[in-house]
Structure 1
Amino acid sequence: METIIFSANIGQDLQRYLATKKYSKLGLIMDSHTARDCYPLVADHLPEHLGHSFPAGEVHKNLNTCQEIWQWMTESGFDRKALVINLGGGVTGDMGGFCASTYKRGIRFINIPTTLLSQVDASVGGKLGVDFNGFKNHIGVFNEPEGVIISEAFLKTLPEAELRSGYAEIIKHGLIRNENYFNSLKTENWQQQPWKDIIEVSVGIKRDVVDKDPKEDGLRKILNFGHTIGHAIESYFLDTPYHLLHGEAIAIGMVAEAYLSHRFLRMPKTDLDTIQQKLLAVFGKVSIPEKDFGPIIELCFQDKKNEGNVLNFSLLRRIGECDYNIAVGREEIIQSLNFYNGIEV
């Protein structure tokens, strides 16, 4: 299990943490935005290190970028005693961790997540990988970082849209595991919240689930609520002018899958209404053209929870209680997308 540090002073805490580690070389992987906005917050506290940055954006989370990172590691003379720091959001943590885990059959790495999304989601659980031919996280491994250092200070560098994207995963944690937590999350002035406390609760929820099921054989699948349809929507619109951030797509997925929860597990209609209202209050509504339903459903079949030609969903019995391996057909997915489109705002 990785060490998680909730830092009140990122520079000092990082310096103290690295002082306890032995390594032959220290490498820092970051994207172009993190290099500009976040690296200055830690640069003066880092010992001698080598850095590599890649262009920011999900479209660069692929094997081509991995090749560049592996080439940098090779040219820098990293051996198996080297240590890598992934400084950035989910793309950097997923891809940097994947590159570290496969370079020379694996070197150690730590994650310093800089977005709200990566702090409450990607930083915990050891899922690493890259997108492949339009399929999200299609190539990857399970491998835990040695440590994760989480600091609220990085949130000040984020545009509001990125902060909102992370908020979707926080809402999801309440929906699948803790009704009181879900009810406590604000929809008005949601930007003004005690983020450090919220992050600690969300990380605790995810970590508890992952500890019980590290390789996603059962219980861990509940963390995918909203993601079967949400990931498909995110992937479909990735290379279009209607590109959606992860949390924006997952918010749509959670509304659609809340409808399926009501349909398949008889989640109360009042819960469906509550979920719909909270998500739309924060994320607004996006129109999903009916002509896009077919390709989106085909992308649903790439979801890693599926077995054979069966679409397995994680759905809610009620707010705070989630079940998994619920078989859902194409027609019901179409109905869930029509339900979302039919919501009046």
Structure 2
Amino acid sequence: MRSSSHMISHRRIVQAQSDIKLALQEVVGRLDPAAGRIVGYHFGWCDENGIRVDAGSGRYRAGLLALLCAAADGADWRPALPAAVACELTSNAATMQDDIIDEDTMRRGRRAAWSAFGTDRTLLACTTMNSLAMEILTEQPHPAAAPSARKLSQTLVRLNVAQLQDIEFERRSDVSLDEYLRMVDGKACATFSCPCALGAMFADTPGIDGLAEFGSRIGLIWQLRNDLLGIWGDPGQTGKPGLSDLKRRKKTFPVIVALETTGSDRDELAHIFNQDNEPLGADETARAAVLIERCGGLLRTEREIRSRLESAIEPLGCVMRDDTARADIISLARFFAQSTR
């Protein structure tokens, strides 16, 4: 699997990734070794035995958004590093929990943390990461310390409520597109919006609301991309098993828009999804992927990503006055929207 440094080659972005990694490693170093080993493994810094490795998985998307938004007016992003670290901790804790909920045994081309260390220990490590994130924010001698911690806490509440809704959707056959979008608003949109806001808060950057809205829009694009890759992604590129979303009957964007069509393909797809609550078998999963594509699910998702990407980028000229920072974050947004299949 290609590293993000290869896929995003802009010098400042690579520098930001390096700054985030060093700051993260320093903060994670505070943890008890039992928790630190699980967290370090998830970030790709060590193997299951704690031996140092470089798994090349440090994309740090939440942290990048925080730093690039902090530099919106050309300011030094270093004051926003605590925000970047806190958002990376909570974002990755959510990812580790997602793997447990979805029973995904692979993450970034190797065993998911829960598969390597067990569900109980991984959940406790996730709780520790969230607590550490709050500690990092509140200990800062900056006026944004308390407001940013409150913002992050509110985001985590929204995320967990949305995750509960997402699980409930798996058991329902009547999930509407509006319900899906509201769920994603609390999940991906909120978790992308938060780092943009926090980065701007720590850098005293004007236009916080505009940057937060940009993050929300990019979060939806990211979710749409993940929905697409969950069905048609190449496991060699995504680092996760193929068709994993379909096996669990997840009501993702391609599935919902396919089920909102009419015709025999749609009826067959509905029959597959509505049989029972057990995971789909291999033949059913493969057939469902074909039917979703026939019903326009793939094409509609790709079109939605392109359309929403342009609407997200367009207002940046009003909220990011520094040309370099704006070019960097547009490059990052386009990377988020890329389909690897």
TM-score by length of 1: 0.29
Structure with higher helix content? 2
Structure with higher strand content? 1
Q: Of the two structures, which has the highest relative contact order with CA contacts closer than 8 Å and spacing of 6 or more?
A: 2
